[in-house]
Amino acid sequence: MVHLTEEQKLELRTIASKIVKDGRGILAADESTGTMGKRLEQINVKNEEDTRRNYRHLLMSSDKELSNYIGGVILFHETLYQKDVEGKLLKDYLKEKDIVVGIKVDKGVVQLMNTDGEGTTQGLDGLGERCAQYKKDGCDFAKWRCVLKITEHTPSALAITENANVLARYASICQQNGIVPIVEPEILPDGEHTIERCQEVTEQVLAAQYKALSDHHVYLEGTLLKPNMVTSGHSAAIKASPQEVANATVTALRRTVPAAMPGVVFLSGGQSELSATENLNAMNCHEACRPWKISFSYGRALQASVLQAWQGKQECFAAAQMVLMHRAKMNSLAARGEYKKEMESDKSSAEQSLFVGNHTY
């Protein structure tokens, strides 16, 4: 029988707790080559390996102060093995700052037959071998994204169950290889649904998810959850306030997520940088008991302003790093319930919506 030893359990829960310690969160820098191309296109920069490397170098080589706000960084496979112009591995910049290195391990979403455009995520084949290699190469946590959507007839029971079991199987394989799994059942914000409908679906999805994790004997203390916030649909006529988002989200989590799980690290889901920070802060100011750390695992909501400041220009390198530091600090304050909107220096770019319909990574 395969089971985790006490030493393995200790390692997993130590890694998970370290990532979300004292207001720290995660920088999701694991965009695929295609997705990175879309980001670079917005600043009129070509999607070439050198350009991607230079941009990731900008992120990874930021001042050591970054480790006060960021506990982990998720990398794409290419980035894990990239070196700067002097031959230094980019991941080593993170190691030197004692930031935990993570890796995206899924192989993307594929459609489920005879469903209303629903899907599941592939990549379980050979995952054990890949995780073993990633562990040797310095990775201590992983990300796997599953996607569900809200319409009149979705998510279906099939989609909920299939994605919950895929995530649970992935989590089990990761833990056997000493890697903390981030469990990410993302419910897309696309649509006109109300916040009440989103809460209802989120509770269904998370309840199924934790049933599956239990069935697969996953060690919850050595995992992190990366869910969507409970919000109105992007096209909804009535938008929920940060307080309404906080109340609906915390309520959904309290009804479905076991206290043994150490940290909830929210995805930003196309919210503007400011909205993602404000909503996170509101949750950490909520009066209800929250047995888990509530923090962030943001991609666009940490990087959009950074890309705009960089513009692909070497002379803008330091200025872009300062923008990253500011956004990381603001979200770290929000993860402690200490953020105030007056702390923002330039609200204009941070208020722009980052929504992408049917978002792929």
Q: In terms of C-beta density within 10 A (0-12 exposed, 13-18 middle, 19 or more buried), how is residue 132 classed? A: middle
Residue 172 · residue 46 · CB < 8 Å = no
d(CA 290, CA 294): 8
- Specify whether 41 is catalytic: no
* Cα separations in angstroms, 259 against 179, 222, 338: 21, 12, 23
Other C-beta atoms closer than 10 Å to the C-beta of 149 total 20
Nearest to 227 by CA among 325, 294, 131, 152: 294
- Selected catalytic residue, list 91, 149, 226, 329: 226
Residues 6+ positions from 296 with CB-CB distance below 8 Å: 25, 26, 265, 266, 268, 276, 280, 302, 331, 334, 335
Other C-beta atoms closer than 10 Å to the C-beta of 254 total 15
- Selected catalytic residue, list 11, 184, 186, 278: 184
- Specify whether 83 is catalytic: no
Q: Please identify every residue annotated as catalytic.
A: 184, 226
